[in-house]
Amino acid sequence: MPVGEFPGRTRPDACPGALQVHEAADGPLARVRLPGGAVSAAQLRVLAACAAELGADVIELTSRANVQVRGLRSPEVFARRIAAAGLLPSPAHERVRNIVASPLSGRGPDGLLDVLAMAAALDRALCARPRLAGLPGRFLFALDDGTGDVAGLGADVTYAASALGADVSDAAGGRLLLAGTDTGLTAGPDAAIALMIDAAEAFLDELPSGDGRAWRIRELDDGPARIAARLRGGAAPPVPDPARLPGDANPPIPAPTRRPPDSASAGRLPGPGRLPSTGAGRPVAGRIAQRDGRVAVEAVVPLGRLTSAQVLALADTGHAVRLTPWRTVVLPDLSPAEADRAEKALDAMGLVTDPASPWAGVTACAGRPGCAKALADVRADARHWVESLDRAPATPVHWAGCERRCGLPRGPVVQLIATTNGYEERHP
């Protein structure tokens, strides 16, 4: 369990937000929640302007499809700008609006349900419950359209569409997972939001009084079973109808430079031939056929970092943009001709649409100089290493500046962890 191991934890969650910034080594860092990974072109332009004018011109994608702006010179001005852009609908809830959703939202071959609309409804319902502002900043909701992509992320509360009923509008149209465990509880899409909100309330009910050390359901003894028992035990307070809540905060639906490795790791970087081959892994780049005959294009953001110029270029594509928990961007609903143009535009802005690219499956934490705990400039080392490859690594590779292993993806991952004596290599 990387980052903030639960045993012995003595402090409440301090996950950053747009108001509660993190004092990183390179300056204040703000995290902006984007429920479902949805962001409008206008909001992208505001984020780009903030990064360029107020920060270090760095926008990071997170493993929850949120964004981070680094090196802020005026967090107060930043907060005012993103609030005006509709990205801060509830100051009290801003750190708990962690909602991931299947990026294709029912459009893919296995998709059964439009979960992007549900993500917006869940966000409104969450912000309407004052008590849920007390959730830890790491508590995570997920809405899976039946593809199984985000159901495997181990979110605290997941609604996974399934074909248990005659169709997904039936009462048995989706399953509730708690910390990745199937509870046996089912609900149709019309009742799913209320069930998820009740599960979050039940988590708070199960926390020992005044104990803020448990940040996730999996950190409670028998957490999934205890919360499921509460959900089966009686009616919970009604959830306000999301359609009647005021203030809809959700809008309608350069290539890396070569740098030498850090001196701490020079000459001790792993060779590409040593990576094991698992044959597993989610496709992270290229075209995805939609069921309606249209096409989505997914692009890898190398090491999850964008400049303001790249964000502006995304906004200027004229297409909807979805961010994913895999630090990729998806442009859905394209014709084949539009997909051709989109691929060229994404490649021109330094993103990667070739699934065989060495950048596919390579991630890294902030490293030096952004993190005071890091023992190496892992991003520079990762770039140097990727340039030595001629294909994507068979198993995802994560570069970490210390034992905290921030940003470690789920599933089989080769871990390269900086130490005072170079990198320690750990295999799944």
Residue 146 lies in a domain: yes
The pLDDT, as a whole number, for residue 82 is 97
CB 37 within 8 A of CB 253: no
Residue 413 lies in a domain: yes
Residues 315 and 337 in one domain: yes
Phi-psi category of residue 181: left, alpha or beta, with phi > 0 → left and psi -120 to 50 → alpha = beta
pLDDT, one tens digit per residue, over 282-323 is: 557 999 999 999 999 999 999 999 999 999 999 999 999 999
Average the pLDDT over 142-171 and give the result: 81
Residues 184 and 131 in one domain: yes
Phi-psi category of residue 266: left, alpha or beta, with phi > 0 → left and psi -120 to 50 → alpha = beta
Q: Is the peptide bond before 369 cis (omega within 30 degrees of 0)?
A: yes
Side chain identity, residue 242: P
Strands laid side by side in the 286-289 sheet: 38-39, 321-323, 328-334, 295-300, 286-289
Average the pLDDT over 120-144 and give the result: 97
Residue 52 lies in a domain: no
Residues 201 and 329 in one domain: no
Structurally, how many domains does the chain consist of? 3
Residues 232 and 148 in one domain: yes
Average the pLDDT over 197-206 and give the result: 97
pLDDT, one tens digit per residue, over 263-285 is: 333 333 443 323 322 233 455 79
The mean predicted confidence, pLDDT, of the chain is 85
Residues 176 and 205 in one domain: yes
The pLDDT, as a whole number, for residue 257 is 28
Rg, Å, the chain Cα set: 21
The pLDDT, as a whole number, for residue 1 is 44
Residues 118 and 191 in one domain: yes
Domain of residue 374: give its range: 272-279+360-426
pTM: 0.84
Give the percent of the chain with pLDDT over 70: 82
The pLDDT, as a whole number, for residue 12 is 60
Average the pLDDT over 43-54 and give the result: 98
> How far apart, in whole angstroms, are the C-alpha atoms of residue 353 and residue 349?
11
Average the pLDDT over 254-265 and give the result: 31
Domain at 235, CATH number: 3.30.413.10
pLDDT, one tens digit per residue, over 61-81 is: 999 999 999 999 999 999 999
Residues 336 and 369 in one domain: no
